[in-house]
Chain A
Amino acid sequence: MPDATGLELIAAEVRERLGGEAVVGTMYHRGQATLDVAPAAVRDAIAFLKDHADEPYELLMSVHGCDYFPEEPRLAVHYQLLAMQRTDRLGVRTRMGADDARVPSVVDLFPGADFQEREVFDMFGVVFDGHPDLRRILMPEDYEGYPQRRDFPMGGEPVLFTFNEHEMPRWYD
């Protein structure tokens, strides 16, 4: 794990390469370093960290979404990068509002992000520009809403039985 100083050095490196507004901030918590990146720059930042950084992170282990609901901007996509040789991890996070949730896809850099970006789209409604096949993955294809958002209600959905058929108008649609 890079320490807090190492994280600032990485941030400076990315800023130098991609411009000052690419890196929004850094976060160092419980020994874990996370780089906060602007949504539009996230693909470039990860491509830079993968191939051209002084200490590259050549693998992407996880992509997951998150909803910091009362805070703004509320949605976030997290990328967990890994450097196997140095046994080092780095988190990259990008935050965006719910109404302009668009991020460039990293599937061309890491084919393994395919399913995981689809899951984030499915659960949070983040659109990944450039993803070859952005469909729902876990929820049914005709599902409405993004269930992992914090304002999506907890609890079940009504199941259709013959006794409650009349309570669910146009169920056959």
Chain B
Amino acid sequence: MTDRPLDVPYREREQSVSLERMPGRQAPVYGTEIEPETELFTINMGPHHPATHGVLRLLLTLEGEIVRSLTPIIGYVHTGIEKSCEDQAYWKVIPFVERMDYLAYYFNAQAFCMAVERLVDEEVPPRAQYLRVIHLELNRIASHLFWLGTSALDLGAISLLWYALRDREKILDIFEMSSGQRLHPRYFQVGGVVEDIPPGFEQKVRAFLPDMASRIDQYEAILDRNEILLQRLKHVGQVPLETLLGLGVTGPLLRAAGHPWDLRKAMPYSSYDHFDFKIPIGTQGDHYDRYRVRMAEMRESLKIVEQALDGLPEGPYITDNRKIALPPRHELATSMEALIHHFKLVTEGFRVPPGEVYVAIESPRGELGCFIVADGSAKPARVHMRDPSFVNLQMLRHMAEGRLIADLVAGVAMLDPILGGIDR
């Protein structure tokens, strides 16, 4: 990074010669230089289309190559997870909600666990909060890496997919160390995490951090000098900030438009106020800013993970409230109390006093809210996830209408929708 002085605005830092920087040339304004055609053409894009990042169907009305109207049709992977949750004890719901947004599984678990913790009024021990932060931020990097790889693939840079997935594998290996699972780990529990990190975990993460930082530099070096990519990202897909706020769009999409809204800073949870990190924002709100913001977020996440490892407090990793958390395994052989608690928790689960709560956290895609209604039994009466992909998808129409169909592909890529979260 030493060859890039920081006083150069970030949008001019890349080394390429682009059309807009050549004297006398303006960036092309799409949709104007093409002769309008009178015949409209309605076409399905999807549900099975590689550029839709899942089973998303877009009903397009085209005029020539220009998208005149766009209707997203969703529900193809609706599996009724919210309904299934109503039939499970609270601690058995965690694996269900993890499968909603399947790239950000730790975030779903965190939102659900936080909501239940607030309902039963349970404090999470500091060590568990830090362990959660480490996993959440690693998961954010993994999710952004998957976004980076698939988006670059959509825009024609296939090699980046393999690079990004290679680094995501390393994060999955770290997850495997702590919980035994690479995806959907069920590591977060109500009141803490399921197990302390094993020996060697810290070294592995510490080895990963500088490695990942240099990888991000490399990816930026690949992409920022790629003329095709820049042409497809810059000045494309701007949506006014007022429209975004009206639509309830959150996350990197909102921050790229210049609004520094991040729940980790605004309403800190799980000790996020202990860490020193910045909120990257864009200036113009085009695809290029969205790409930039996510790349910068990965660097900030690396900083958070490092600080969390440095300051990882000693102490219990899960609450010692035996009504909520399972007793340690070794106590079962000697303590009748522990055996009773274990039996009650495994067979019935814990009961939650009646009430309802809405808890929101910052997922890689925006505000992930969890709404739970408890009726006093051991099963939730209602679990609802306000998934950011579901709400953000409404912005696609504003991004794509009146523009070329190739920009729609870039738009879907930069929107980063996860259909598992949209359809739930």
Contacts and interface: CB of A to CB of B under 8 A. Distances in A.
B75 A61 contact: no
A138 B250 CA distance: 22
Contacts of A89: 358, 360
B83 A115 contact: no
Interface in A9-30: 29-30
B423 interface: yes
Given A64-B384, A112-B391, A91 B245 contact: no
Contacts of B357: 29-30, 32
A61 B78 contact: no
Contacts of A116: 390-391
Given A32-B358, A112-B246, A138-B423, A147 B121 contact: no
Contact of B386 (A61, A69, A123, A137): A61
A63 B327 CA distance: 38
Size category of the A interface is 35 or more
Contacts of B246: 110-112
Contacts of A60: 248
A67 B382 contact: yes
B386 A112 contact: no
Given A30-B118, A112-B391, A138-B74, A61 B267 contact: no
A139 B75 contact: yes
Interface in A64-82: 64-69, 78, 80
A120 to B, nearest CB: 10
B393 interface: yes
B238 to A, nearest CB: 17
Contacts of B83: 147-148, 152, 154
Interface string A99-137: 000000000001111111001000100000000000011
A87 B267 CA distance: 7
Contact of B247 (A31, A112, A147, A152): A112
B86 A137 contact: no
B102 interface: no
B154 interface: no
Contacts, number: 104
A78 B358 contact: yes
Nearest to B119: A30
A62 B369 contact: yes
Interface in A116-173: 116, 119, 123, 136-140, 147-148, 150, 152, 154
B99 to A, nearest CB: 16
A80 B373 contact: no
Contact of A147 (B74, B80, B391): B80
A30 B86 CA distance: 21
Contact of B358 (A91, A136, A148): A91
B75 A138 contact: yes
A84 B266 contact: yes
A64 B382 CA distance: 10
A59 interface: yes
Given A30-B118, A110-B246, A111-B394, A148 B82 contact: yes
B367 interface: yes
B267 A115 contact: no
A150 B266 CA distance: 36
A136 B424 CA distance: 15
Interface in B63-112: 74-75, 78, 80, 82-84, 86-87
Which of B248, B266, B355, B391 has the largest number of chain A CB atoms within 10 A?
A: B248
B371 A111 contact: no
B153 interface: no
Contacts of A111: 243, 246-247, 394
A66 B373 contact: yes
Interface in B32-87: 74-75, 78, 80, 82-84, 86-87
Nearest to B261: A84
A147 B84 CA distance: 11
Which of A58, A60, A136 has the largest number of chain B CB atoms within 10 A?
A: A60
A111 B248 CA distance: 8
Contact of A61 (B84, B355, B369, B382): B369
A59 B243 CA distance: 11
B30 to A, nearest CB: 24
A42 B64 CA distance: 44
Q: Which 3 A-B pairs have the closest CB atoms?
A: A112-B248, A62-B386, A112-B247
Given A61-B369, A152-B83, 18 more contacts: A29-B355, A29-B357, A62-B386, A66-B371, A66-B373, A66-B381, A78-B358, A80-B386, A84-B261, A91-B358, A111-B243, A111-B247, A111-B394, A112-B246, A115-B393, A138-B74, A147-B83, A154-B83
Interface of B: 74-75, 78, 80, 82-84, 86-87, 118-119, 121, 243, 245-250, 261, 266-267, 355-358, 360, 367, 369, 371, 373, 375, 381-382, 384, 386, 390-391, 393-394, 423-424
29 contacts: A30-B121, A31-B118, A61-B367, A61-B369, A62-B358, A62-B369, A62-B371, A62-B386, A62-B391, A66-B373, A66-B384, A78-B358, A80-B371, A80-B386, A84-B261, A89-B358, A110-B246, A111-B246, A111-B247, A123-B82, A138-B74, A138-B78, A138-B423, A138-B424, A139-B75, A139-B78, A140-B75, A147-B80, A148-B82
